[in-house]
Amino acid sequence: EDQVTQSPEALRLQEGESSSLNCSYTVSGLRGLFWYRQDPGKGPEFLFTLYSAGEEKEKERLKATLTKKESFLHITAPKPEDSATYLCAVQARRNFNKFYFGSGTKLNVKP
């Protein structure tokens, strides 16, 4: 069965303290992996798509990487405005319109 596991569930960082979030997946034939940011009371906001192992994408302080088993979202020198829940979703080749989401990592960056 297709499954996505995110860790840690919650992460507290001081402003400027870099760290990484993990998304491990089990899917039969990965087509793509998506990272989203979700603020309280809002819907998921699209950040990145990764399609193949070794691929990297960057946006401001965020960098996403992909291997055959997992993806990392690296946050460099975070600011309080980076505080949010970060969600990972995967799509399988056999049905690429159906996204499987992880439970998310709630990030809190203290000033």
Partner 1 sequence: EAGVTQFPSHSVIEKGQTVTLRCDPISGHDNLYWYRRVMGKEIKFLLHFVKESKQDESGMPNNRFLAERTGGTYSTLKVQPAELEDSGVYFCASSQDQGGPQHFGDGTRLSIL
Candidate ranges 15-23, 52-60, 66-74, 86-94; the one touching partner 1 (CB under 8 A):
86-94
Among 20, 26, 52, 103, binds partner 1 (CB under 8 A): 103
- Side by side, the strands of the sheet bearing 3-7 are 3-7, 19-26, 70-75, 62-66, 56-59
In angstroms, the CA 35 to CA 64 distance is: 8
With respect to partner 1, which residue has the nearer C-beta, 11 or 92?
Answer: 92
- As measured in angstroms, the least distance from the Cβ of 26 to partner 1 is 14
**Count of residues interacting with partner 1 (CB under 8 A):** 25
34 binds partner 1 (CB under 8 A): yes
Q: How far is CA 52 from CA 32, 42, 43, 57, 67, in A?
A: 8, 29, 26, 11, 8
Among 21, 30, 33, 44, binds partner 1 (CB under 8 A): 44
